[in-house]
Amino acid sequence: MIAPAARGSTTISDKAVRKIAERAAGEVLPAPLAGTARGSATVHGRSASVALDVALPYPAPLSDTLRSVQQHVTERTHQLTGLEVASPHVSVTRLAGLKTGADESAPTAPTDAPTPGGTRSARRWWSARRAPMAVVVLVAAAVCAAVTADVIRVRATHHTAAAWRLRAVDWLAGHGPGDPAVTIAAVVAAAAGTWLLAMAFTPGRRGQLPLTAADGHEIVVVDRSTVSALVRDAVGASDGVEAVRVRTGRRRLTVRASLAFGDRETALRQATDATDRVLADCPLGRAPRRKVTITPVPTWQTPLHTADPARTNAVQKGATP
């Protein structure tokens, strides 16, 4: 009889369980949405927990569809892995309208796309920009707070006004509308106000990135989470990569991966090539700058062929280095 220590063990990774759960969810969803499920999984011994983000068809009974997805993912994952899988947490990211009849598998055209032969140009996909508004609000709040504090100090203590407020009043009193400095400040203020109004009246779609069609017009968009999932799966297939975190912005795509084994430079090159392939396959209207970082896990060791030659020879001979 073979001792338990000599039999070995089988370990199912988190990534394998995640991929199985995503495929299982696709088996329940309609064909156009079959490959859209994205999620995460964590294995704890003989049990696993799964979380999924799915797009559901509309119109459809959402509660019944969600229960079907949860039940099938639980049973299918348990069948293929042998792990005890709790009922997965399923989040609905969007509702997709499906066509009926012969065009059921055809993708739904975006409402902002120009019709063939028409003269309507593609609308710009605006995005909400919170940073400019935050800067304007903070500057205005700081100025108002400083003036209010000085006025309260003057009224409460009967002191003279602050020197900076006196200088500002004297400068404004000595410069009229025809002064070049006043004219330039007015033009800058008008331009800033027009810019803020334009952003206020164009609702944002921060979670979407525009694609470039063959004719150069931006008429289709893709979710940032979709690009992140594609890059995560592509980089996760690199040799030795254990976990991948991807953050997709409008101008920058950041990839951080953990290296469990293998050569770090080789893994970095493979991860960079995989990221470039995904970005090349996604014809984004503005290709983001990518940054790929590979960080070894604490248990990672330098491969023998890159280690010190004396240590390598000792290890190969079975000696203690």
Nearest residue to 89 via CA among 75, 108, 69: 69
Q: What pTM does this model have? A: 0.41
Separation of alpha carbons 77 and 47, rounded Å = 11
Nearest residue to 246 via CA among 308, 293, 300: 293
Spatial contact of 251 and 288, defined as CB atoms under 8 Å apart: yes
CB atoms within 10 A of CB 315: 13
For position 13, what pLDDT does the model report?
86
Hey, what CATH topology would domain 208-306 get? GMP Synthetase; Chain A, domain 3 (3.30.300)
- For the chain, residues classed under CATH 3.30.300.20 are 10-103
Instruction: Tell which CATH classification among 1.20.120.1200, 3.40.50.1110, 3.30.300.20, 3.90.650.10 matches the domain 10-103.
Output: 3.30.300.20
CB atoms within 10 A of CB 316: 9
Separation of alpha carbons 244 and 257, rounded Å = 4
For position 97, what pLDDT does the model report?
58
For position 86, what pLDDT does the model report?
83
321 residues of the chain, pLDDT tens digit each: 556 555 667 788 888 888 898 888 888 887 777 777 888 888 888 888 888 888 877 666 766 777 888 888 889 888 888 888 888 877 777 766 555 443 443 333 333 333 333 333 334 455 556 677 788 889 889 989 998 998 998 889 888 888 888 888 888 788 777 788 888 888 998 998 888 787 777 656 667 777 665 444 444 567 788 788 888 888 888 888 888 999 988 789 999 999 888 888 988 999 999 999 888 877 777 788 889 999 998 888 777 655 455 544 443 444 444
Q: Supply the angle between the helices 14-28 and 62-81 in degrees, to the nearest 10.
A: 140
Give the distance from CA 100 to its chain's centroid: 32
For position 137, what pLDDT does the model report?
85
CB atoms within 10 A of CB 34: 13
Separation of alpha carbons 293 and 255, rounded Å = 6
Integer-rounded Cα Rg, in Å, for the chain is: 29
